[in-house]
Amino acid sequence: MPVVTVKMPASLHARLEAEARRRRTTKSAVLREAFAQRQSAAPAGSLYERAKHLIGSINGPGNLSARSKTMKGYGQSRHP
């Protein structure tokens, strides 16, 4: 198994040691488990797939670029 050296603040190292003692295991095992949980908790699918239920859920103008009255003055400085 490859070996990795990690630098961390003393406070985080103390938390890691305490967690390893509490579980009666090694610091390496605690870190491996944390990485495994983090990877399995990663959202699946594209941003579109995760947000498609939100599409159309709010009211507002559809296409601002086609509404010249709405866009009048847009992007211009407010200070002369």
Q: Is the pTM of this model over 0.75?
A: no
37 in any annotated domain: yes
| 50 in Cβ contact with 43 (< 8 Å) | yes
**Spans of the chain, pLDDT less than 70:** 40-42, 60-71, 75, 80
64 in any annotated domain: no
49 in any annotated domain: yes
DSSP per-residue codes, 8-24: --HHHHHHHHHHHHHHT
Range of the domain at 35: 10-57
CA distance 32 to 38: 10
HSE-CB of 21 using CA atoms within 13 angstroms: 6
Number of domains in the chain: 1
Place of tokens 């498609």: 52
Return the pLDDT at 62: 64
DSSP per-residue codes, 39-50: HHTSPPS-HHHH
79 in any annotated domain: no
29 in any annotated domain: yes
19 in any annotated domain: yes
63 in any annotated domain: no
Return the pLDDT at 64: 59
Determine how many CB atoms are found less than 10 A away from the CB of residue 30.
19
